[in-house]
Structure 1
Amino acid sequence: MAMNHSDLLTGLLLNLLVILIVILLLNFNYLSRNKVHKLHIQPLSIYLASSLLLLLSLALSVQFEDGFVYDLRFIPFLLGGIYGGKRVLPWLAVTMIAIRAPMMGPGLVVTVIMAIVFTFVIMYMRPNLENKAWKTRVYWYTLMSFGYSVLSLWIPSLIFDFDYSSSFLVYSAVLSGSTFFVFYLCEIIRKIYILQVEAIKYEKMQVVSHLAASMSHEVRNPLTTVKGFLQLINEDPSNVSTNSELSKVAVSEIDRATEVINQYLNFARPHPELEMEVGIRNEINRSKEIIMPLAVKKGIILKASILHHLSIKGDPNKLQQVLINVMKNGLEAMETGGTLRIFSYQEGDKVFIVINDTGVGMTKEQLMRLGEPYFSMKGKNGTGLGMMTAFQLVEGMKGTIKVLSKPGKGTSVILSFPIHGGEEKVKSVKQTTKVRPSLR
């Protein structure tokens, strides 16, 4: 039976709406699981998502002419082929045919031909488009979609003497426009992922550049000691026993300088994604050692108190980056000196890390904007990416950040994480110590 233009347009637009809703929900789920820091998506996930969209598209299909069913199934097929590659595309072609097979009719032959033809087209075009600008890729995907719509009419007209040109114009326009819109949205989201990953790297390197200036103080001291000892050994080379002791001290000082340099290099270099047991005490002590030269340079007292030996599940490199970002912000809030306190305690099934400074503090309005990109208390010297990155990394480890602050009294940043090991670890601690952050 024939389908009027209004019903065809309504059906296709409903199909588009469902595709967009599923794509957005999948992206929100991806973000909530902290995949924002790694762009790669598993081929299996792409295949399952595309197959789901294929099934929904066919469920919302419109009967164009007796035995022919038209919908927007080419969009998820193209999405899976472009973003999943050769490992996904052939299986998607088989899936598209398998889903269409139960409906039978002459349209099944068209589906088989189109699936085979466009599997080879996408395989050929995909590597050629990878290095193109994202807008150029979107235009090419739209052109492929238009080509699909043309062939989907031309093939039936040749084989089955099918001619329904007026409705074809509606179908072709909606399919091509929908493809442009869906891929434009996907490429924008993909670009946001890339920019966020780059922002995290930029913020980390900015912290390293600031710490490097203060590192010279920490390295210069042992080098000065080594230089003095070598001069003493040179003045009296015959005194073997004394020179032996001086040599041992000189070697230990060189080792200390090497360890300081290694700490900075370990913080600066890229690390693979990890999920493991992370000891809170160890990471706080490492972060304290890295930030100490900057504190000494500014005349700030750094105190740390860890009242447990608990651990959390996550990435130690991410936790270290969060701690150093927050500590550095605290140091920069105390231009005339002060005290930076870091302490950690257990409360229930969570472990808390509190970083408290005696700096300038923040107003309620400033607190509300904390974590926004490019909002910074440092004026033109700040980007606001440090706290934005900290919020994202902590959320990725199933933690939370709470900030308490009063102008002129200082700021307390409170990080909380679920204890690794659950109830067993909580029960093993017989007495729970509760410490509240102070703004003094």
Structure 2
Amino acid sequence: MESGDAKPMNHYELLTGLLINLLVILIVILLLNFHFLSRNKVHKVHMKPLSLYLISSFLMILSLGLSVQLEDGFLYDLRFIPFLLGGIYGGTRVLPWLAATMIAIRVPMLGEGLAITAIIAIVFTMVILYLRPKLMTKALRVRVYSYTAVSFVYSILSLWIPAMIFDFGKPSSFAIYSAVLTGSTFFVYYLCEIIRTIHILQLKSIKYEKMQVVSHLAASMSHEVRNPLTTVKGFLQLINEDPSNITNNKVLSEVAVSEIDRATEVINQYLNFARPHPELEEEIAIRDEINRSKEIIMPLAVKKGIILKANILHHHSIMGDPNKLQQILINVMKNGLEAMESGGTLRIFSYLEERKVIIVINDTGIGMTKEQLMRLGEPYFSMKGKNGTGLGMMTVFQLVEGMKGTIKVLSKPGKGTSVIMSFPTYQKEQKEHTPKQTTEVRSSLH
């Protein structure tokens, strides 16, 4: 609030002018918050004192430019809000300079209000510096209410003192200015704190999720590797106790070797997850690779009484590592077989759609709920109970992504599951695709 020559302005225009001032402050603060927080990747939000000073000074000058002139020549603005925020977040390294700036931008206007501005700036600099360390450890609600009270006291003093000196009194104007400044301080400071708090919580949540993945992987590896190693240790002890029993020791050693192979397989799955991108890039004939994987999985299907059908509607190729693609296909097909305890049909489709090779593996097994689908691919989540680690599907997701493909899983309890994978076609291949075939394949999916 300052003095000077002005035309009369009614209370509606006073309220409108102050709200426009508030809107400009909010827009600038929101944009700057998002800018600085998006660049900040640590859990403690920090802004350099110089940046904070320049931003606060800019907002104070902007607020003065948007000041509202009342009858009898008084100017009302919301420059105290950036002054207060700069003091809260900048402390002793910013606030004294902001006080000097507040006085300096008032100097060109001169008049009796200059002395009042200087006194108020110095007084509230000391008040904020006194309260800041005491409120830093308090709850958000206490901080917001305390700084809002400071703003209310400022609104009273910045009006009451000039009114006493210049014999000016308009209670309704005082009330409007005080209410807008106090409410604006509450809203702006609370908004800044909420934005900062949400950003910090997001960073902590990301860190927590990473730690959860590590803990799941550690627990899974410990569980899966310890069991075969314990078996090997026990068998070696038995062999050592009776080295002359060749027949029995041969059986024990074979079991021990098989357990070591199982532990090696678990470790290989972890390595595939850690290095999902194919190391080899070459042309892969989809028809040949699906037939090869079908032959590998066929004995297990026959053993379980499951019918295995393949329908490949093209001769196109993709780029990638054939061994990795085979691992993807076998893992998905094996999961489909294990989901059909009492027999069923496992179908493999492949067709071309919009220059992409689509591979669909469909089973008629127990299916999955929406909640289970959402967790599919998480480490240590498996539909096999204690017999599964979840590493198989986790590796499948990673390998498909590494081959620049996408994967989608559709499932309903009791009706089976469809795993749909899409890969870019090999560019040198000629387009061969009939819409009729694609329609037939789609209609066969549930």
Residues 288-314 of structure 1 deviation map (CA, whole Å, 9 limit, x = unaligned): xxx9748259x9897644589xxxxxx
Equivalent in 348, 373, 378 of residue 375 of structure 2:
378
Sort the Cα spacing of 1:110 and 1:219 in 2 relative to 1 into closer, same or farther, 3 A.
farther
In structure 2, distance between residues paired with 1:25 and 1:358:
46
Whole-Å separation in 1 of the counterparts to 2:190 and 2:273: 50
User: Secondary structure of 1:405's match?
Assistant: strand
In 2, the alpha carbon distance for the partners of 1:358 and 1:69 equals 72
Match for 1:405 among 407, 420, 424?
A: 407
Is the Cα contact below 8 Å between 1:292 and 1:302 reproduced in 2? no
Q: What is the root-mean-square deviation of aligned Cα atoms in Å?
A: 4.5
* Pair 1:64 & 2:70 matched: yes
3-state secondary structure, aligned to 2:406: strand
Relative to 1, partners in 2 of residues 1:8 and 1:300: Cα closer, same or farther, differing over 3 Å?
closer
The residue type paired with residue 406 of structure 2 is L
Residues 20 and 182 in structure 1, CA contact (< 8 A), matched pair in contact too:
yes
1:51 Cα shift? 1.3
Q: Who is 1:55 aligned against?
A: 61
Q: Tell me how far apart the structure 1 counterparts of residues 37 and 207 of structure 2 sit (CA, whole Å).
A: 18
Q: In 1, distance between residues paired with 2:372 and 2:152?
A: 44
CA shift digits 1:347-400 (9 cap, x unpaired):
xxxxxxxxxx9999xxxxxxxxxxxxx998118x89xxxxxxxxxxxxxxxxxx
The residue number in structure 2 matching 1:7 is 13
Higher Cα radius of gyration: 2
What does residue 102 of structure 1 align with? 108
CA shift at 1:405, angstroms?
2.6
Q: Which of 133, 141, 150 pairs up with 1:127? A: 133
Partner of 1:208: 214
Equivalence map 1:264-279=2 (5 Å) = none
In structure 2, what residue type is equivalent to 1:116?
I
- After superposition, the C-alpha distances for 1:391-421 in whole angstroms (9 at most, x for unaligned) are xxxxxxxxxxx9833334466899xxxxxxx
Answer yes or no: is the 8 Å Cα contact 2:68–2:76 preserved in 1. yes
| Shift, 1:4, TM fit | 2.1
- Unpaired segments ≥5 residues, structure 2: 1-5, 242-264, 282-327, 337-358, 363-370, 380-403, 410-417, 429-446
In 1, Cα distance between equivalents of 2:427 and 2:222:
39
1:377 aligned counterpart, secondary structure: helix
**1:319-398 equivalent positions in 2, closer than 5 A:** 377-378=374-375
Displacement, 1:175? Answer: 0.6
Q: CA offset at residue 63 of structure 1? A: 2.0
- How far off is 1:223 after superposition? 8.8
Measure, in 1, the Cα distance between the counterparts of 2:148 and 2:17: 20
Q: AA paired with 1:48?
A: L
Give the 3 Å change call, closer, same or farther, for CA 149–302 of structure 1 in structure 2: closer
| Structure 2: distance between partners of 1:307 and 1:20 | 54
One-letter identity of the residue aligned with 2:50: L
Matched residue type, 2:162: P
Q: Is 1:16 matched with 2:10?
A: no
Deviation at 1:215, TM superposition (A): 3.7
Name the amino acid aligned to 2:375: K
1:33 to 39, 45, 52: 39
> Aligned pair in 2 of structure 1 residues 123, 301: CA closer, same or farther (>3 Å)?
closer
Question: For residues 180 and 413 of structure 1, what CA distance do their matches in structure 2 show?
Answer: 54
TM-score, structure 2 normalization: 0.54
SS of residue paired to 1:69: strand
Separation of aligned partners in 1, 2:274 and 2:119 = 74
Instruction: Give the whole-Å Cα distance in 1 for the aligned partners of 2:68 and 2:224.
Output: 73
Check whether the contact 1:68–1:105 (CA below 8 A) recurs between aligned residues: no
- Structure 1 segments unaligned to the other structure (5+ residues): 236-290, 309-329, 339-356, 361-373, 383-401, 415-432, 436-440
CA drift of 1:67 comes to 5.2
- C-alpha distance in 2 between matches for 1:14 and 1:46: 23
Residues in 2 aligned to 1:170 and 1:29: alpha-carbon distance in whole angstroms: 33
Aligned match of 1:317: none
Do 2:41 and 2:203's aligned partners in 1 also have CA atoms closer than 8 Å? no
- Distance, in Å, in 2 between the alignment partners of 1:168 and 1:80 is 25
The question of 1:295 aligning with 2:266 is answered no
State the SS of the aligned residue for 2:155.
helix
| Equivalences for residues 240-319 of structure 1 within 5 A | 293=267, 295=269, 304-306=277-279
Q: For 1:211 and 1:124, how far apart are their aligned partners in 2?
A: 50
Q: Does 1:186 align with 2:196?
A: no
SS of 1:105 mapped into structure 2:
coil
8 Å CA contact 1:405, 1:411 repeated in 2 = yes
> Following TM superposition, by how much is the alpha carbon of 1:54 offset from its aligned partner in structure 2, in angstroms?
0.7
User: Does the Cα contact within 8 Å between 1:15 and 1:60 map onto a contact in 2?
Assistant: yes
Question: Is 1:214–1:294's contact at 8 Å kept on the other side of the alignment?
Answer: no
Q: Which residue, out of 94, 97, 117, partners 1:88?
A: 94
How far, CA to CA, are the matches of 2:97 and 2:372 in structure 1? Answer: 47
Answer yes or no: is the 8 Å Cα contact 1:217–1:293 preserved in 2. Answer: no
How many residue pairs align between the two structures? 287
**Residue 39 (structure 1) shift:** 1.7
Amino acid across the alignment from 2:49: P
The percentage of counterpart residues that share the same residue type is: 64
- Answer whether contact 2:14 2:68 (CA < 8 A) is retained: yes
Q: 1:149 to 1:303 in 2, by over 3 A?
A: closer
- Tell me which amino acid in the other structure corresponds to 1:295: Q
State how far apart, in whole Å, the 2-side matches of 1:43 and 1:200 are.
Answer: 28
Shift of 1:66: 4.5
